[in-house]
Structure 1
């Protein structure tokens, strides 16, 4: 096979999970030209800890088989107003710049408390990223949510008209237009009504259909998250619930969708708790990113996805 940019820090995909030398969570793919970049959090929870996500990592591939490990691209301390927690993120390209939207814990000594959304920017998908505004884009007090961690898990979409939109939330799903500067809100925050919405929204478009995948939870049936989705003719709705894409993650009550089209195929990234690293068993705060192919029926509805160890290996 000809060289496709595989470097000495790389590894080969041998099935799920993708990364096997450390715990990764909250996958966020980005396609730029002939390369798919995958951003994750670095799970480092010890025994008795729920979450300890210390930094954001980046990987890349040109063929979904050979992967480059680019290491850490940011830490919460790179936001001077943040206290900790490298929670779920997404990198969004617009006009040749790369905008990194993410959730962190706001430093209570700097005027706010609870989870908040920050935005960083770079001229490259691999950084260096810098805080693009010097303060949180969305603070806990900016939304009327059910708890202090409702402002998490940002996903961004830019339409053909150049208007960008931010969707995020836990408990409530929020939507707001972004300003042309990509670091301000250009309109009021509204909510999207989605059945059993828990967290982790991911927005994408295929043809004339907008899709909003998210982590759902029906506590009366199952205390673990699953991935559901809705569709709409426009990003502002109306949204129609379409059902589940896939069930709960093995050995993890959280699950987090990241969806991208690359080299003519659609892929669903998510995380599970099945990996063991250096004697540490996987679980809630020690998750591992996996991937499956995503397929659609003739009406554009997403076909159910089975989570497998083989993943996207040929013939799977």
Structure 2
């Protein structure tokens, strides 16, 4: 596997590329089917979730991650699951979702299965805020059951008309009503199916043109796209955004414009193949930045690189920052480790609306990119819970970079007994990547980590 300089887990090289993402962008869970939504200045990235023990598709929930800088992603945990649709099969098939806002509500469209029914259906759930919780809107499928009714993508046009596209290997659409949970007119199978279309459509409008990106001919799947002057075609194929790659049997695009840049999301199997040469459905979401051509077409992009995209704004350490805000997490390598960039370790957990970092063990670490300390910080505070304890070492620019402080974490009275602890820091000024390096005895979990904050010098 080729590795960019920024992705190599060597301190001297990691410091050479600060404030940059690494692909895949989520390391604490296996994620796929990215559905980014820009809302009120934030990217809301909805995903499907491959279970840690998956071999084939094993998917039970939909997760959410947010970012304002395209590099540090905050985990909000599961915002919907198969339990959201109690009439659906409960042990599997929580496949590719999309969420769209309208009239102060947020609508989640997702394919699920019905017990005893081999064909597919699409369900819809609704929430009052993008973080959910989402609730079943109908108590039954919106469309289906029909074989291949998967991968819904929704869009509300400028004139208020909403559309829902979906399908594998055929492409269907229907016009949604203003309530977003019913439709008018017939379900139409697209008569001019896009060239090399397979599944995973992503429908949007830009510059007066309609775009439909999709996972292209299986297998391997790249990303193809077509354009039209009308929301229901006819569609004109303009090439591929990304060619297929033998390292990834699948793909699934999500495309947004955000803070002056254009981004395409997809997924690969990098973390699976870091662990084993055996293909398993344990996927990881990736992102690349691109520029549209003058005529609105999209250039052909190289396969997902490990370096990812550049950070577009700094992170403020003087406000509360959730510990699950992560640019990268792995474990500090030992001389006998296999020479890979990522090893499974830190996870996240959710209790009610609260998400926190868990399964912290000795020498695991979290990187937070592009932290702007300004003229300097003098104190660090973290909210933790522990029955064992350990330390949090604060490093600049790499996991072995300069230490600006160390927070000792003793027993807080047990897991779930949260306490705020603080320690002095020195040498934290200017903009740096910040690394939390966790240390303690043995191989058991040390503590859980909820959030953190620095205090400015002189305050």
TM-score band w.r.t. shorter chain: 0.7 to 0.9
Name the residue aligned to 2:227.
Answer: 231
Structure 1 counterpart of 2:271, from 264, 271, 275? 275
* Counterparts of 2:131 and 2:23, CA distance in 1: 24
What are the residue-to-residue correspondences of 1:185-196 with 2, within 5 Å?
Answer: 185-192=183-190, 193-196=193-196
Structure 2 counterpart of 1:313, from 310, 313, 321? 310
TM-score w.r.t. length of structure 2: 0.60
Uncovered stretches (5+) of structure 2, i.e. residues with no partner: 1-18, 313-459
Distance 1:183 1:102, change over 3 A: same
CA offset digits 1:254-303 (Å, max 9, x no partner)? 10001111111110000000014995778441000000013211111101
* Counterparts of 1:51 and 1:43, CA distance in 2: 7
Name the residue aligned to 1:208.
Answer: 208
2:139 aligned with 1:131, yes or no? no
Structure 2 counterpart of 1:90, from 65, 86, 98? 98
Structure exhibiting the larger radius of gyration computed from Cα positions = 2
* Counterparts of 1:267 and 1:280, CA distance in 2: 30
Name the residue aligned to 1:9.
Answer: none
Tell me the matched-pair count.
289
CA RMSD between the two structures: 2.1
- Kept in 1, the 8 Å contact 2:30–2:52? The answer is no
- Kept in 2, the 8 Å contact 1:45–1:51? The answer is no
* Counterparts of 1:200 and 1:22, CA distance in 2: 21
Deviation at 1:234, TM superposition (A): 1.1
Deviation at 1:123, TM superposition (A): 0.6
Deviation at 1:88, TM superposition (A): 0.1
SS at match of 2:83: helix
Deviation at 1:113, TM superposition (A): 4.1
Uncovered stretches (5+) of structure 1, i.e. residues with no partner: 1-11, 142-147
Name the residue aligned to 2:108.
Answer: 100
Structure 2 counterpart of 1:60, from 56, 59, 66? 66
Deviation at 1:313, TM superposition (A): 2.9
TM-score w.r.t. length of structure 1: 0.86
Q: Which segments of structure 1 move beyond 4 Å, counting only runs of 4 or more? A: 276-284
Structure 1 counterpart of 2:27, from 17, 20, 26? 20
Higher mean C-alpha displacement, 244-253 vs 198-207: 244-253
SS at match of 1:77: helix
Name the residue aligned to 2:173.
Answer: 175
What are the residue-to-residue correspondences of 1:110-121 with 2, within 5 Å?
Answer: 112-121=117-126
Deviation at 1:96, TM superposition (A): 1.2
* Counterparts of 1:284 and 1:235, CA distance in 2: 37
